[in-house]
Amino acid sequence: AAGVIQSPRHLIKEKRETATLKCYPIPRHDTVYWYQQGPGQDPQFLISFYEKMQSDKGSIPDRFSAQQFSDYHSELNMSSLELGDSALYFCASSRLGMTRNYGYTFGSGTRLTVV
Amino acid sequence: GENVEQHPSTLSVQEGDSAVIKCTYSDSASNYFPWYKQELGKRPQLIIDIRSNVGEKKDQRIAVTLNKTAKHFSLHITETQPEDSAVYFCAASKSGGGADGLTFGKGTHLIIQP
């Protein structure tokens, strides 16, 4: 079965640079979520989109922005990168209203290293 | 906002024994409680979830119980096996699995001793 696809898998950037992470949800899923997970930490919710509209907002820094496109893929844009932004960034997707399973599926993540 | 506390942070059990991980949440409006298993460097994987209209749910060796009054929920793993070794996260959400984000606990590192 198709899973959530994230690209790139690994990314190395210098401080103050910008980065764009991409997420392709499972087909027919209409909701995407972004999480940031630092080393040894729990995933922190950043932002979610439903039907291309921002749905919920978590601890996303002002330097970050995201959007969901007409084909439901999403991009997380990160500017003025800081060393503390180094983390695993997970995207997850779900289809609202599915009664069988309200759990959502995470992608394999993008490991961002800021040097 | 929601605050989820998880205990213990590390749990070591003998293979074949049971393991119990406990979580408490603060927001009484939360109504969806999933549990994730995460191996080092890999994605969190949903292992079981429970909604607030149910007190207990079981799937083979894994069970989850929910006490809405006390605002706590627990993961029970029976007949533990070496492949159960991983970090387990509990989480809570107010939207019953909708577009709201999950608030995670800090995780429990489960070690299965052979």
Q: Is the pLDDT of residue B6 over 90?
A: yes
Q: For A12-75, give the DSSP string.
A: EE-TT--EEEEEEPPTT--EEEEEEE-TTS--EEEEEEETTEEEEE-S--TTEEEEE-TTS-EE
Partner-chain contact B99 A55, CB within 8 Å: yes
CA angle in degrees (0–180, nearest 5) for A24-A25-A27: 115
- Measured in degrees and rounded to the nearest 5, phi and psi for residue B84 equal -80, -10
Identity of the residue in A45, A55, A106 whose CB atom sits nearest the CB atom of B44: A106
Q: Is the pLDDT of residue B78 over 80?
A: yes
Q: Is the pLDDT of residue A1 over 80?
A: no
Partner-chain contact B34 A103, CB within 8 Å: yes
Burial category of B9 from C-beta neighbours within 10 Å (exposed 0-12, middle 13-18, buried 19 and up)? exposed
Nearest CA to CA, how far is A78 from chain B (Å)?
20
pLDDT digits (tens, 9 = 90+) for A91-110: 999 887 654 445 688 999 99
List CB contacts (< 8 A) between A46 and chain B.
Answer: 101
Percent of chain A residues topping a pLDDT of 90: 81
Considering only A94-103, B32-41, B48-57, B97-106, which range has the smallest mean pLDDT? A94-103
